[in-house]
Structure formats: structure tokens, C-alpha cells
Amino acid sequence: MTLNRSIKLRNVTLSEREQARIDPRLDSLERRRQHPEPAAMLVSTAYPPQRRTEVVLRLQLGPLDGHPISHQAAETADDAVRLAVEDIERQLEQTLSTQRGEPSFGVPSRRPERKHTPACDRARILTAAASIA
């Protein structure tokens, strides 16, 4: 199935150029989907005195799955949509990594790295020899 799109604009008028930039971003979500009935809901609100556009993007993956949601703000609507789509893609990657059973997502190991020095090896050999004797 294709990605169902719902776009609501509040105090925002998109030019053809902005709309042309937003459409491929939403198409990238369609390429990444692996669910039967996906739907994307985009709500864009403009705040002219602050020169800021806020975007809320919600991706419904199916009737039983979770719904990744992203709240982003930028100077233009297409920049805010870009940030929101990147956030949703990151959330999808994190969900898939936990489903695959990976121990962590994007977090390096916190264990200190063990350094092998000749003194450590000598101490290990001496303790092993003492335990045998």
C-alpha cells in the first residue's frame, strides 16, 4: 500500500518550491515503510512574529503498531519537515534495532578498554602457577 498523507496548514502558505521540497521528504518515509497501512499526518503552524514554523509529524504504521511522533521548529516549513522526517527515521531505526535484539542503539560501550601490558601478563602467569602448585 502507499503512504496515506494528511497535511494541515495553520497560518502557513506553502509556495510551489516549498511544496516541491516537502514531497520528496515524505516520499522517503514511504520507501522505508514495512507496514501494511501506513499514514503520515503533518501539521504545520506558522508563528510570523518569531519567524518560526513548527511542524508535528506523526507516522501511523498500522492499527496495532506504535506511532513515532516528531515536533520540530525551523525558520521555513521545508526545513522543519526535513528535521521531522530525520527524527522519525531515527526513531524507526531504533525500533527496528530493538526488535532485532541489538543490545543498544547508537550508544558506545561504557566499559573501559582493557590494556594488555607485559606486567599484567606476568602477574596472570604467576597467579596461574601459584594456583597449580
Q: What is the pLDDT of residues 61-79, one digit of tens each?
A: 777 667 889 999 999 888 9
Q: What is the mean pLDDT of residues 100-115?
A: 66
Q: Which DSSP letter does residue 105 get?
A: S
- CA nearest neighbour of 114 among 128, 124, 105, 104: 124
Q: What is the mean pLDDT of residues 43-51?
A: 90
Percent of the chain residues past pLDDT 70, beyond the cut: 78
**Could you report the per-residue pLDDT of 80-104, keeping only the tens digit for each?**
999 999 999 888 888 877 777 776 6
pLDDT at residue 71, as a whole number: 94
Level-2 CATH architecture, domain 4-99: 2-Layer Sandwich (3.30)
pLDDT at residue 3, as a whole number: 75
Burial 34-65 (b: 16+ CB within 10 A, else e): eeeebbbbbbbbbeeeeeebbbbbbbbbeeee
pLDDT at residue 111, as a whole number: 62
CA distance 24 to 85: 11
* The pTM of the whole model exceeds 0.85: no
